């Protein structure tokens, strides 16, 4: 079963309200696309540059394009955490490099927590406070140190697309009970996150998601090119599709790399995770799975006439007694998706 997400209705209403002040509406697809292209070109030409929050075209681009896409990605990540009870007993969230606070906004949809947003730019705060009044219990600060973490055992350090340029987590984050990290699903950022997972395990943290085990990551230790990321389907609203027609980037599916880790150990889960898209090969179809330190594939042999494509990131039940040939588990019945 594929995972489908769309833009939350209250986000859409807030975006529409905000655009009025720029003398735009959700139906102005060409003008919205021009803003998105301008910000995209800025990031391409100035990859190390600070986000130009002071520019109205950058604000429009974030509101109508990047915020919806990232909200959908983060809603999928948060959903996986909720299935495992990851947010239970947490009270405080420290959102580092919050930007337009998309991660905290998305988390606040279902989790009644206190949110501290760490962001140097002042413009995002103005936008959030003006156009997203439903987002409560928030405080904005420019920097943070360990002394500002009031109750580490009840605190979540949240990093959403803010670790790319850092070599490590800041020291205060290691003091928190929980970590939620979502990064771009590029090979470089994905493998960097897998390396961070190993370091966090050494420091006493436990993996709650996406992994179902705490052994060495086979995508990191047994491959020089693989990286871990999930794929979800984006049911874009009509206005977004109209805007996207003017853009070279299409977003029918979205990917993200993430980690949910806590100092508290989770309940064991007897499942494997699909970590690869379907590979069509002569005589068989294959999908990579992860359930331990070995790099393994499910293999559907065409002679058995079973066709199945499991969503990347899904948890599955591995039947007992599957024939194993090299690193392949030969499938002779449909795999149960949990």
Q: Which residues contact 159 (CB under 8 A, 6 or more apart)?
A: 96, 97, 169, 173, 179, 180, 181, 182, 183
pLDDT of residue 8 exceeding 80, the answer is yes
- 8 A C-beta contact, residue 124 and residue 118: no
pLDDT of residue 231 exceeding 70, the answer is yes
Q: In the predicted model, what is the mean pLDDT of the chain?
A: 95
Domain-wise residue ranges, the chain: 4-262, 272-337
pLDDT in tens, 203-226: 999 999 999 999 999 999 999 999
Determine the pLDDT at residue 167: 85
Determine the pLDDT at residue 136: 84
Sign of CA dihedral 193, 217, 309, 284: positive
Confidence bin at 328 (pLDDT 50/70/90): very high
pLDDT in tens, 29-86: 999 999 999 999 999 999 888 899 999 999 999 999 999 999 999 999 999 999 999 9
Determine the pLDDT at residue 82: 97
- Among 65, 109, 103, 263, which Cα is nearest to 182's? 103
Determine the pLDDT at residue 158: 98
Confidence bin at 1 (pLDDT 50/70/90): low
pLDDT of residue 258 exceeding 90, the answer is yes
CATH class, range 4-262: alpha beta
Q: What is the pTM of this model?
A: 0.95
- Among 139, 90, 99, 94, which Cα is nearest to 119's? 99
Mean pLDDT of 223-239: 94
Confidence bin at 166 (pLDDT 50/70/90): confident
Q: In the beta sheet, which residues pair with residue 300? A: 285, 331
Residue for token pair 């109750």 = 151
Q: What angle do CA 58, 61, 62 make, to 5 degrees?
A: 90
Mean pLDDT of 277-288: 94
């Amino acid at each position: 079963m594929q995972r489908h997400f769309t833009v939350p209705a209250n986000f859409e209403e807030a975006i529409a309200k905000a655009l009025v002040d720029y003398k735009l509406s959700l139906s102005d697809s060409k003008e919205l696309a021009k803003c998105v292209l301008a910000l995209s070109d800025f990031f391409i030409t100035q990859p190390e540059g600070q986000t130009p929050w002071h520019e109205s075209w950058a604000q429009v681009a974030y509101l109508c394009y990047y915020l919806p896409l990232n909200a959908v990605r983060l809603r999928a990540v948060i959903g996986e955490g909720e299935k495992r009870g990851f947010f239970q007993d947490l009270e405080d969230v420290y959102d580092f490099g919050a930007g337009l606070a998309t991660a905290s906004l998305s988390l606040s949809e279902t989790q009644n927590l206190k949110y501290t947003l760490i962001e140097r730019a002042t413009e995002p705060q103005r936008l959030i406070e003006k156009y997203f009044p439903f987002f409560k219990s928030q405080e904005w600060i420019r920097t943070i140190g360990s002394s500002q973490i009031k109750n580490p055992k009840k605190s979540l350090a949240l990093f959403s697309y803010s670790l790319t340029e850092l070599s490590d987590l800041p020291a205060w984050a290691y003091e928190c009970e929980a970590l939620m990290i979502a990064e771009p699903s590029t090979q470089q950022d994905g493998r960097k996150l897998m390396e961070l997972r190993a370091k966090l395990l050494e420091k006493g943290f436990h993996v709650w998601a996406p992994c179902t085990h705490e052994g060495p990551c086979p995508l990191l230790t047994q491959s020089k090119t693989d990286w871990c990321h999930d794929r979800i389907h984006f049911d874009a609203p009509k206005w977004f599709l109209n805007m996207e027609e003017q853009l070279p980037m299409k977003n029918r599916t979205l990917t993200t790399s993430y980690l949910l880790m806590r100092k508290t150990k989770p309940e064991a889960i007897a499942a494997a995770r699909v970590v690869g898209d379907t590979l069509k090969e002569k005589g068989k179809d294959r999908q990579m799975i992860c359930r331990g330190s070995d790099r393994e594939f499910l293999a559907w042999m065409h002679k058995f006439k079973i066709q199945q494509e499991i969503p990347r990131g899904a948890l599955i039940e591995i039947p007992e007694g599957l024939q194993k040939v090299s690193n392949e588990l030969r499938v002779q019945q449909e795999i149960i998706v949990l």
